[in-house]
Amino acid sequence: MPSKLPINLADLLRQRTVEGDRIEYKAGWNPDAIVRTLCAFANDFENLGGGYIVIGQDCDENGQPVFPPVGLATNQLDKIQRELLGYCNLIQPPYFPVLSVEVFEGHNLIVLWAPGGQNRPYKAPAAVTAKYKELHYYIRRYSSTVEARGADERELLSLTATVPFDDRYHRTAGLGDLSPRLMEEFLREVGSDLAAEAGALSTEALGRQMNVVGGPAEAPMVKNVGLLFFNERPHQFFPATQIDVVWFPEGAGGDRFEEKIFQGPLARMTREALDYIRRNYLRETVIKHPDRAEAERLWNFPYAAIEEAVVNAVYHRSLYDRI
Chain segment 168-219, per-residue pLDDT in tens: 888 789 999 999 999 999 899 888 888 988 999 999 999 999 989 987 677 7
Q: What is the dihedral of CA 182, 102, 220, 34, to 10 degrees?
A: -130
Beta bridge partners of 231: none
SS3 207: helix
Mean of the pLDDT values across residues 134-153? Answer: 94
Residue at 286: amino acid letter = V
Q: Are 121 and 157 in contact (CB under 8 A)?
A: yes
State which H helix or E strand residue 296 sits in: strand 296-299
The answer for residues whose C-beta is within 8 angstroms of residue 253's C-beta and 6 or more apart is none
Question: What burial letters (b/e) apply to 255-264, b meaning 16+ CB within 10 Å?
Answer: eeeeeeebbb
The dihedrals phi and psi of 231, each to the nearest 5 degrees, come to: -125, 140
Mean of the pLDDT values across residues 78-105? Answer: 96
pLDDT band at 314 (very low <50, low <70, confident <90, very high): low
Residue 90 reports pLDDT greater than 90: yes
Mean of the pLDDT values across residues 249-267? Answer: 88
Report which DSSP code applies to 8.
-
SS3 68: coil
Ranges of each domain in the chain: 9-163, 175-236, 243-318
The answer for residues whose C-beta is within 8 angstroms of residue 247's C-beta and 6 or more apart is 257, 258, 259, 280, 281
Determine the pLDDT at residue 309: 63
Compute the distance between CA of residue 55 and CA of residue 63 in angstroms, rounded to an integer.
14
Residue 316 reports pLDDT greater than 60: no
Helices (H), the chain: 9-13, 31-43, 74-88, 150-158, 180-190, 195-198, 203-209, 224-230, 266-281, 303-311
Compute the distance between CA of residue 320 and CA of residue 317 in angstroms, rounded to an integer.
6
Indicate whether this model's pTM tops 0.75: no
Percentage of the chain exceeding pLDDT 70: 92
Helices 31-43/74-88 angle, 10° precision = 50
Determine the pLDDT at residue 216: 64
Cβ neighbour number for residue 83 with a 10 Å cutoff: 14
Mean of the pLDDT values across residues 292-310? Answer: 73
Residue at 59: amino acid letter = C
**pLDDT, tens digit (0-9, with 9 covering 90-100), for 40-58:** 999 999 888 789 999 999 9
pLDDT band at 322 (very low <50, low <70, confident <90, very high): very low
Compute the distance between CA of residue 163 and CA of residue 232 in angstroms, rounded to an integer.
25
The dihedrals phi and psi of 302, each to the nearest 5 degrees, come to: -75, 65
What CATH fold (topology level) applies to the domain 9-163? 3.30.950
Tell me the DSSP string of 148-176. Answer: --HHHHHHHHHTTT---GGGSB-TT--GG
Compute the distance between CA of residue 311 and CA of residue 96 in angstroms, rounded to an integer.
30
